[in-house]
Structure 1
Amino acid sequence: MAFSKMWATPKRRRAEPEEQHVFRPEWTQRYLVVERDDGEGAECLVCRRPIVATRERDVRRHYEAEHEHYEAYAAGGERAALVERLRRGDALAAAALSREERAVRASLGVAHLLALHGRHWFEGGLIRRCLEAVLREALPEHCRLLDEVDLSPESVAQKTLGLARNLHAQLAARGPTFQAYSLAFDDQAFVGVDNRLLVFVRGVDQDYEVDEELLTVVNLAGQPGVEHIIRVLSDALARTGLTWDKLVGVASTGTDWLCSEEKGLVQLVQDRASRARGGLGGGSPLPHCAGLLHIDVMGSRELDVGGVVDAVAGWLALMRTRGVATLGLRMLLEEAEHHHGGEVSLMCLSAWLRRGKALKRVFTLRRELGAFLATTGAAPNAALRDPLQDPDWLCDMSFLVDMQAHLAELAAELRVPGNFAFTVMDHVCTFSDKLQLLRAHLSAGDLTLFPASRELCGELDHQGQAVREVLASHRYQEGLARLHAKLQRQFEDLCAVKRDLDMFADPFSFPVENAPLHIQEELIRMKSSSTLLCEYREENLGSFYAGLPPGCYTELQAVTFRAASLFDSSCITDKAFTYLLKHQTRLSQLGTDEHLHALLRIATSNFEPRLDDLVRARSRSLA
């Protein structure tokens, strides 16, 4: 069956974000926030911090994490008086923390910032000295306050662990409320930080609020068997309050050891979930989306027909040891070092060249790079005395540059959070059709969609070179065909739940006869309700389903919970990818796995640490 037909979906409205970003006046008394003057989000009346993403869940989480002690002012008149007092800036009069507790809270805030930015524990001391210098000149009477703020390396390290435990406790409190959840396995094997498996969880609760968080990090040193990884994963799920029977989907990078049909981790996870549901699959298969994570990095491997990336990475590594005088090449190396925290390996350079516009910049600097290679006598292939003057090799490079640009567009679409999984199908289906169009253009010698190849063609045609015939050759057609087949293979599991996704996306247009028998009666009742149709048109999907009358559409909601909990983007895994890439030197110097896990949890979490809980827990332990 053709890929585009297999993925064809009925016309439907585009999914909106989970909640509309509209400020509600009742939040002022409930969460102590007001709308910002520019209309861009909310502002906390207590700490005056902006809350950009104005969804109720974001406002509520800030309040619960930072100012829940104000719940003591619960009565209507007392609450209104509190709001007016805070509007006047009288926050200290309502504060519940002692001076010593505020000092501990301040040190926790510094530890949180250091973790978010991948900084060393001992930099807390530098921050303390900076604050002391400022206070000594600006507010000398308050300089002694810093004596109570402990920012020693040992204290910052312990506070970082405490912050991570607090974030995990929030996830554990949310876990039992999930109606369904899915997992994402990211081995990050291509960024230079190997021997780790990052496991993320995405869950949806009764109100269709979605959480994506780091579940655990598995140390793969010593090549543990997948049975051991399953045990570690089971322990992590149990600590989070999750059960195997609620697992409805898996996403991964698609690497071989994860996806092996016989002994792969994904297969064992699917089997474990099936057994937990009594071996019946719960009425729906457990789909595995093997290409959602880092699709641009993995996809470019199918298109690198001439080994371009590895060759260029070797040249860049050589330039780091030999030094270069050309400004463009020096800036290129500085950018590579910046993205990798100063520690650049061949593996890191290869991953960097497969993302973004790095290889395109190399392509524009090919003359300067050729001059450098001429001085060193370096070449990636003994058969090519000067590869950057060889038309065939340059065609390989320009073709990869152009295709990486198309892959980057797809990856950017798959990084947008706040939609649902059926948008993944739409984007991949569209890209599949685009691949067919690119193949047709190459065959016809039309380079409209290949700007780098068009530039090279004009340059080499001026020298009498017939490059269009090279670009129309079978090797590039085969590369595009391989990528097309890989996408079809990696995303085919979503076809098994395509019916559920379509019904979730637009229940009013979904044919009743195509629905499972046990859902058809509920679907007919929903279609006959003009009130629900009006709400569907006015509300976003999550709010619409959360607002259905309790107990009236239980079978349909069971399907929608599964559809809503599938990973809809690679946003959280890309956040971890960037953090690992930029701070790998710092992370490699950590003494224990516990600290590595803590930093990754803090860097990727969508929760805010509840500092007051940590402060009070410390006060109780000292009492």
Structure 2
Amino acid sequence: MAFSKMWSNPKRRRPEVEEQHVFRSEWTLRYLVVERADGEGAECLVCHRPIVATRERDVRRHYEAEHDQYESYSSGEEREALVERLRRGDVLLAAAQAREERGARASLGIAHLLALHGRPWTDGGLVLRCLETVLREALPEHYSVIHEVDLTTETLALRTLGLARNLFRQLVTRGSVFQAYSLALDDQPFVGTENRLLVFVRGVDQDYEVDEELLLSVNLVGQPDCPHIVQLIEEALARISLPWDKLVGVVSTGTPWITSPETGLMRMLQARVAENRECMEIPVLPHCGGLLHLEMMGSKELDVGGVVEAVAGWLALMHTRGVHSLGLKLLLEDAELHTGGELNMLCLTSWLRRGRSLKRVFSLRQEFETFVAEAGLPPTGHLRDPLHDPDWLCDLSFLVDMQGHLADLADELRVSGTFAFGVMEHVSAFTEKLQLMRLHLNAGDLTHFPVCRELSDELSRQGQVGNQRLAAQRYQEGLTRLLTRFQKQFEGLCALKKELDLFADPFSFPVESAPPNIREELIRMKSSSTLLCEYHDEHLGAFYAGLPPGCYTELQAVTIRTASLFDSTCISDKAFEYFMRNQGRLIQLSTEEHLQAVIRIATSNFEPRMDELVRSRSRSLA
């Protein structure tokens, strides 16, 4: 993830979405699904649920989670007969479920939904009453089944733990086949709940199938020492059969206690990996310290006038006093929606630094001005009336524009499936853009600053020179700080630039620049017109997975390590949004085990295997 040009050779064509999500006819027999009539994904023949993301892994996971009892129909003729009966609507059960088992499945399903949406287990009583009403009024012949559905608080708490354990067992199964993996260290420094370190793992198997899941959650209250955290990570990795020598990279939030060169967590992880890596080509564990929560980190570097703190204070006061302006009411409602109603200063500043919320503040500055005047607020910093101060308004407009650019970058980094070379491409382009914006701003050119241009026009109509104010030194320094931060936090992955280039475009990669052990394989690949056609037509992971067995083992060993690097912020963003929206609920959880369970359920890409849970429950009661 260096900042120089990613490659000078022509890049491979990015695969279209349709190339990655094409229904295959053989899935009907294998997974009991058919293509939907509208062509948008697949539909299960058993439960008729749609499977929108039509990749084989999604279809397979649904089948294994919900209908693996049909594996007893194994022969070709039996399987074909089963499909025909399912097409006619004759749903067979390999083992008929008792009413108690159906009730347990329903209870597990409700517990899963409550955890996903951050709802308390006490809501189970309301759900039960709703179900009673529906069955009594619409399906009275099935009303008696409601007595088998246990939605008490104690039962739902146990169901939640069972669901989380089931998801973790699936991770254990997948971890045993990972060929390489990387870690993400997210200490969630912007959330109003107790500080916590979330450790995510991304692993890749020999077929280049990628899984990103929560490894563990560590409570940082009292700041446990880094050796203790390393020990917890080691124990969690051992539970899913992952040795240190398969760890190829780490991403993090870049906070000082993680990145400290002497005593930081990253330094200790690198030392731990070095003990097991005498024969590896990469002697130092690469670290990207700015990928997670990048836009909030950038906003802090650019907030030259304390803008976010001031606006957050006004919003917090509006929340307690109330407002008459419709625009401000809608802004507050949006803030409450994204912060779970917790409108304290930390949550508000996090919300304002993320996305494009501050742009709405700029458009509502007249309403803010009226509120501040009516409330008789004290001065902000050294300013008696910031909303009438041209310099403070310039600070606001500059931050709005730059947060817009950071939000665009964050959106690009949330797109998964591009592998890590895509991250390097986006970050490299953004650093070049930063340098261009710094030059333009110094020359008074506001091409890349539309909000600043709007404010400049307003100031010009008032007889003031807006361009000169916006070319102030503090904005140049802010852009320089951000550029320096980017270069520092992404420099740890520069050692992997060759591997990233090789992975992204092996046919244009210079043979003499490749590691000696793969040069012969690379020459053979370059000479194959068949592989070149497949390279242009297939998704990159599918291309490498489909190489002839045993012919490119050294090359695949390198590319699997590269594929295991985090290529997006999806799972971290999912956790952050879950924390922000459900802070009140998470604080009320009684144990660390329950808290880790709901976080695992909320962030997992696995589906709980309900049949497995029900069968294990039945065995425990036998």
User: Is the shorter-chain TM-score for this pair beyond 0.5, marking a shared fold?
Assistant: yes
Deviation at 1:287, TM superposition (A): 1.2
Aligned to 2:458: 459
| 1:28/1:382 CA distance change after superposition, 3 Å | closer
Indicate whether 1:256 and 2:285 are aligned.
no
Deviation at 1:558, TM superposition (A): 1.1
Indicate whether 1:328 and 2:327 are aligned.
yes
Deviation at 1:193, TM superposition (A): 2.4
Contact (CA 8 Å) 1:340, 1:581: kept in 2 or not?
A: yes
Deviation at 1:434, TM superposition (A): 1.0
Q: TM-score of the superposition, structure 1-length normalised? A: 0.97
Contact (CA 8 Å) 1:7, 1:495: kept in 2 or not?
A: no
Q: What are the within-5 Å matches in structure 2 for residues 349-388 of structure 1?
A: 349-388=348-387
Aligned to 2:71: 71
Contact (CA 8 Å) 1:303, 1:480: kept in 2 or not?
A: yes
Moved more, 523-532 or 559-568: 523-532
Deviation at 1:379, TM superposition (A): 4.1
Deviation at 1:94, TM superposition (A): 4.8
Deviation at 1:196, TM superposition (A): 0.7
Counterpart-to-counterpart distance in 2, 1:586 and 1:4: 42
Moved more, 454-463 or 114-123: 454-463
Counterpart-to-counterpart distance in 2, 1:306 and 1:148: 61
Deviation at 1:125, TM superposition (A): 1.4
Deviations 1:166-218 (A, max 9, x none): 00000000101000000000001112123210000000001000000011001
Deviations 1:280-337 (A, max 9, x none): 5444542111111111111111111111111111111111222212111122111111
Counterpart-to-counterpart distance in 2, 1:262 and 1:63: 49
Indicate whether 1:87 and 2:84 are aligned.
no
Deviation at 1:389, TM superposition (A): 0.2
Q: What are the within-5 Å matches in structure 2 for residues 175-574 of structure 1?
A: 175-278=175-278, 281-283=280-282, 285-574=284-573
Counterpart-to-counterpart distance in 1, 2:144 and 2:374: 61
Structure 2's unaligned 5+ residue stretches are: none
Deviation at 1:382, TM superposition (A): 4.8
Indicate whether 1:20 and 2:27 are aligned.
no
Moved more, 99-108 or 398-407: 99-108
Moved more, 521-530 or 356-365: 521-530
Moved more, 441-450 or 302-311: 441-450
Contact (CA 8 Å) 1:379, 1:387: kept in 2 or not?
A: no
Indicate whether 1:62 and 2:62 are aligned.
yes
Moved more, 595-604 or 93-102: 93-102
Query: What SS does the corresponding residue of 1:480 show, helix, strand or coil?
Result: helix
Counterpart-to-counterpart distance in 2, 1:93 and 1:438: 64
Q: How many aligned residue pairs are there?
A: 621
Counterpart-to-counterpart distance in 2, 1:184 and 1:110: 30
Contact (CA 8 Å) 1:166, 1:610: kept in 2 or not?
A: yes
| 1:380/1:234 CA distance change after superposition, 3 Å | farther
Identity of aligned residues (%): 68
Counterpart-to-counterpart distance in 1, 2:96 and 2:22: 31
| 1:200/1:231 CA distance change after superposition, 3 Å | same
Deviation at 1:392, TM superposition (A): 0.3
Aligned to 1:124: 124
What is the one-letter code of the residue matched to 2:43?
A: E
Contact (CA 8 Å) 2:277, 2:283: kept in 1 or not?
A: no
Deviations 1:209-252 (A, max 9, x none): 00000110011122110011011111111111111110000000
The CA RMSD measured in Å over matched residues stands at: 1.6
What is the one-letter code of the residue matched to 1:273?
A: V
Aligned to 2:30: 30
Contact (CA 8 Å) 1:500, 1:559: kept in 2 or not?
A: yes
Deviation at 1:540, TM superposition (A): 1.5
Contact (CA 8 Å) 1:285, 1:497: kept in 2 or not?
A: no
Counterpart-to-counterpart distance in 2, 1:251 and 1:593: 25
Counterpart-to-counterpart distance in 2, 1:11 and 1:478: 36
Query: What SS does the corresponding residue of 2:444 show, helix, strand or coil?
Result: coil
Deviation at 1:538, TM superposition (A): 2.0
Query: What SS does the corresponding residue of 1:227 show, helix, strand or coil?
Result: helix
Structure 1's unaligned 5+ residue stretches are: none
Counterpart-to-counterpart distance in 1, 2:4 and 2:89: 61
Aligned to 2:100: 100
Contact (CA 8 Å) 1:274, 1:281: kept in 2 or not?
A: no
Aligned to 1:112: 112
Query: What SS does the corresponding residue of 1:449 show, helix, strand or coil?
Result: coil
Aligned to 1:168: 168
Contact (CA 8 Å) 1:16, 1:418: kept in 2 or not?
A: no
Moved more, 149-158 or 92-101: 92-101
Deviation at 1:549, TM superposition (A): 2.0
Contact (CA 8 Å) 1:15, 1:423: kept in 2 or not?
A: no
Deviation at 1:525, TM superposition (A): 1.6
Deviations 1:346-365 (A, max 9, x none): 00000000112211111111
| 1:470/1:281 CA distance change after superposition, 3 Å | farther
What is the one-letter code of the residue matched to 1:105?
A: R
Contact (CA 8 Å) 1:311, 1:380: kept in 2 or not?
A: no
Counterpart-to-counterpart distance in 2, 1:533 and 1:382: 62
Contact (CA 8 Å) 2:42, 2:52: kept in 1 or not?
A: yes
| 1:380/1:550 CA distance change after superposition, 3 Å | farther
